[in-house]
Homo-oligomer: A and B are copies of this chain.
Amino acid sequence: MADFQLNILGCGSATPSLRHIPTCQVVDFRNKLMMIDCGEGAQLAMRRMRLKFSRLTNIFISHLHGDHCLGLPGLLSTLALQEVGGTVTIHTFADGAEILGKVFDFFCREHSFNLEFNIIKPERAIIYEDKAMTVETFPLYHRVPCTGFIFREKPKLRHIIRDMVDAYNVPIAQMQALKEGADFITDDGRVIENSRLTTAASPSISYAYCSDTLYDPRVAEAVKGVDVIYHEATYIEADAEKAHQRGHATATEAARVAVEAGAKMLVLGHYSKSYLNEDTHLAEARAYADAHGRSDMQIFLANEGLSLDLTTCR
């Protein structure tokens, strides 16, 4: 299992269809599962992808349209029956926490796990932090308040060069300081530069989730420098007017955000049910990236069951 894996559980929009279920993703980060949005069918998709309920720690809800959160009642009910223990935190707007709390209290009267709500707003803020990762919100531009999320791996520790630390007899107690970049001072006062004892840390990866939203340069600005961007591509250019009326983006606009942000990888999703397949979405995004000097950018169509190893973007 990779350190930082993106799992697509659902990538449809509005209502489930026979091709796509509504939006849900799971970031598998060093064995912790962080769910992003939770459309109906998310819990069954977790089973299909063999993502264990007991590893689920956080659920991030971008906005309170049904196709992004109506899998929560069933998922919470299953967590209550599974006796998973631990704490699950739902990050959502205040009104979402209120209604979801009522549903949980009614349908999950007996449960062994602790449900917490973290009230978030559609603004730039760090809403989650642990020793290896932060999660940030940033505003999206949809028909209702909506937020994106950026998952950032924290800077990592440098790698010890075993032969060198042995040669200088570096005591075990000093190792952590070396990994953090400190020089080593020998018993006779010589300074051994850190760069002789360690090699550079692995680059940290970042992932931004942008759904649902109109194209907006402020989105590109917010996700600038992020390695991997998921951006909704509900429509294709031929349906741009419909897209904009409904607060959505086209595949070309998704690519524009990724190009402007300088992403290495773009993932498209949240497809309208009106398309028989998403070949045109991919072709449009590819053409935009190529035309803007980014033929190196990887572009993927989200699909149920797709699992992407984001560490390949290091």
Q: Measuring CB to CB, which residues of chain A are less than 8 angstroms from any residue of chain B?
A: 14-18, 21, 40-41, 43-44, 47-48, 64-67, 70-71, 73-74, 77-78, 81-82, 95, 99, 102-103, 106-108
Contacts and interface: CB of A to CB of B under 8 A. Distances in A.
B78 A47 contact: no
A102 B73 CA distance: 13
A15 B81 contact: yes
Nearest to A65: B107
B107 A64 contact: yes
A32 B311 CA distance: 53
A118 to B, nearest CB: 19
Nearest to A95: B106
Contact of A70 (B17, B18, B21, B73): B73
B107 A74 contact: no
A44 B47 contact: no
- Which of A15, A18, A43 has the most chain B CB atoms closer than 10 A to its own CB? A15
Given A44-B21, A103-B103, A14 B81 contact: yes
A61 to B, nearest CB: 13
Given A16-B78, A99-B103, 6 more contacts: A15-B78, A15-B81, A15-B82, A18-B44, A70-B74, A102-B102
A116 to B, nearest CB: 20
Nearest to A14: B81
A47 B81 contact: no
A206 to B, nearest CB: 32
A40 B103 contact: no
Nearest to A98: B106
B77 A73 contact: no
12 contacts: A14-B81, A15-B78, A16-B43, A16-B78, A18-B48, A40-B43, A64-B106, A66-B74, A66-B108, A70-B73, A71-B74, A102-B102
A206 B14 CA distance: 38
Main secondary structure of the interface of A (DSSP, over half): helix
A86 B309 CA distance: 48
Contacts of A65: 107
Contacts of A71: 40, 74
A9 to B, nearest CB: 13
Contacts of A108: 66
A15 B107 CA distance: 13
A241 to B, nearest CB: 19
A92 to B, nearest CB: 12
Nearest to A73: B70
A206 B82 CA distance: 38
B15 A66 contact: no
Contacts of A40: 40-41, 43-44, 71, 73-74
